[in-house]
Amino acid sequence: MTIRRDDAVRMDRDDPLARFRARFRLPDGVIYLDGNSLGPLLHTVRDRLDKVRDAEWGEALIRAWNAHHWFDLPKTVGDKIAALIGGGSGNVVAADTTSVNLFKMLSAALQLRPGRPVILSDNGNFPTDLYIAEGVAGAAGSDRRLQIVAPEEVAGAIADEVAVVMLTEIDYRSGRRHDMGEITARAHEAGALMLWDLSHSAGALPVDLLGADADFAVGCGYKYLNGGPGAPAFLFVHPRHQDKIRPPLSGWWGHEAPFAFDTDYRPADGIARQLCGTQPILSLAALDTALDLWSELDITDLREKSIRLSELFIAAVDGFAGEFGLTLASPRDPDARGSQVSWRHADGYAVMQALIGRGVIGDFRAPDIIRFGFAPLYIRYVDAWDAAAALNEVLATKAHLNPEYRRRAAVT
Ligand SMILES: *Cc1c(COP(=O)(O)O)cnc(C)c1O
């Protein structure tokens, strides 16, 4: 390879974020390049889970809702996430799943733009985003519909009939990045609203929702935010809309006075009306603690390291990619890319299985993409180098042709 391993070792020595790696539990012999799908366990999160289980649930029982502030968690966790995505305090809650929050935000957008039938999205979007949009359009009835165009065609497709543009900033397959400020401005010019999915952005790069003037946003808690499997998701509503929305999921947690137990629904003021029912407190507590680490660092440093890691990996793989039928699926320009690098290979599934067999964990996205996520809090430059070397070795020895790497499991 064109880059020497010693250079990577030197970059790690000078890395201002290096100290964060020890905060995570990372198994020996594993290079974990899948933190964009499921972030690893922080030691502080393990301790918090022990405490919530034993001292709070175990001992305080139902008193913990007040004594340990369980009831406030969606908002306190929401505020921590807001600080990371430029959402502003009081404009974000952590609750439910990304899919459910997409339902809430799309329903809100259609309410606010009654004469406009179209939800506009792109064909690089994550399937659940498109499926939920189809469901919301169907439930809204009449001529409401989802329109899907190519990512480069979105800006040109924002016509008068578009109620809301729904995009994921970072494409989950290729890592391609949409220009948030530009597309939001274009949507507003046409009288449409803008909904951003930040699942692959939050905790991966700087985001400024208020600066971009976004109307709505959603995102995941279990990817770069390290909240744990099935961690609650988040949603953002710009303050200009919060009190105008009548939530279709009008559950008691979004009621003005949940413990009045009234028979009629009156939505709470502000973002709280976007809550629905009782939340998974163990998971919310885990996410709450996982988020504390972000106040210790500057996200622009994180982004800088993410780019350097990705550039190192691309340069190393470029040295042998052509020989083995690998082509870069991510943009070459780091500004146009998130915190992942993806390659296409005709036998991608088996290649990734062979890598996982060597302790290099990335993932495969159909039909032919192998994906490597670079989470700068715990990935070292030397990990990027070693992952590239392992990929070279798999391809050079044709290890992926081994039948054991070709059997498909349910989760890829
Ligand atoms: C990961 C991801 C989701 C996941 O949604 P869930 O409801 O948590 O299963 C949705 N959208 C995007 C863009 C994602 O990357």
Query: Please, how many CA atoms are within 13 Å of residue 106, restricted to the half-sphere of its CB?
Result: 32
Instruction: Look at residue 1 and tell me whether its pLDDT is greater than 80.
Output: no
Q: Which one is catalytic: 48, 104, 358, 371? A: 371
CA distance 371 to 225: 19
Hey, how many other C-beta atoms are within 10 angstroms of the C-beta on 286? 29
153: its two tokens: 């065609």
In the chain, % of residues over pLDDT 90: 96
Contact 332, 311 (CB under 8 A): no
How does residue 26 score in pLDDT terms, banded at 50, 70 and 90?
very high
pLDDT, residue 408, reads 84
pLDDT, residue 142, reads 75
Tell me, using a 6 A CB cutoff, whether residue 172 lines ligand 1: yes
Mean pLDDT, range 266-294, rounded to an integer: 98
Q: What is the CATH code of the structural domain delimited by 5-17+297-405?
A: 3.90.1150.10
Name which of 366, 282, 381, 376 is nearest 329 in CA terms. Answer: 366
pLDDT, residue 140, reads 79
CA distance 234 to 93: 6
Contact 218, 235 (CB under 8 A): yes
CA distance 227 to 38: 9
pLDDT tens by residue, 41-62: 999 999 999 999 999 999 999 9
pLDDT, averaged across the chain: 97
Tell me, using a 6 A CB cutoff, whether residue 224 lines ligand 1: no
Tell me, using a 6 A CB cutoff, whether residue 107 lines ligand 1: no
- 102 CA distance to ligand 1 centroid (A)? 9
> Could you give the residue range(s) of every CATH 3.90.1150.10 domain in the chain?
5-17+297-405
Domain 49-296: which topology? Aspartate Aminotransferase; domain 2 (3.40.640)
- Give the DSSP letter string of 5-33: HHHHHHHHHT-TTGGGGGGEE--TT-EE-
Name which of 379, 402, 356 is nearest 308 in CA terms. Answer: 379
pLDDT, residue 409, reads 83
What are the two backbone dihedrals, phi and then psi, of residue 4, each rounded to the nearest 5 degrees?
A: -90, 145
Q: Which one is catalytic: 103, 216, 222, 320? A: 222
371 is known as an active-site residue? yes
CA distance 285 to 282: 5
pTM for this predicted structure: 0.97
250: its two tokens: 């009008």
Tell me, using a 6 A CB cutoff, whether residue 129 lines ligand 1: yes
Mean pLDDT, range 153-179, rounded to an integer: 97
Query: Please, how many CA atoms are within 13 Å of residue 157, restricted to the half-sphere of its CB?
Result: 19
Number of H helices, E strands in the chain: 13, 15
Name which of 321, 325, 324, 322 is nearest 313 in CA terms. Answer: 321
The residue whose CA is least distant from atom 4 of ligand 1 is: 98
pLDDT tens by residue, 203-229: 999 999 999 999 999 999 999 999 999
- DSSP-derived secondary structure letter, 170: B
> Could you give the residue range(s) of every CATH 3.40.640.10 domain in the chain?
49-296
Contact 211, 86 (CB under 8 A): yes
The residue whose CA is least distant from atom 1 of ligand 1 is: 199
CA distance 294 to 225: 9
CA distance 157 to 169: 17
Most ligand 1 atoms within 8 A of CB, residue of 102, 131, 172, 235 to mutate:
172
Interacting residues of 335 by C-beta distance below 8 A, sequence separation 6+: 177
How does residue 410 score in pLDDT terms, banded at 50, 70 and 90?
confident
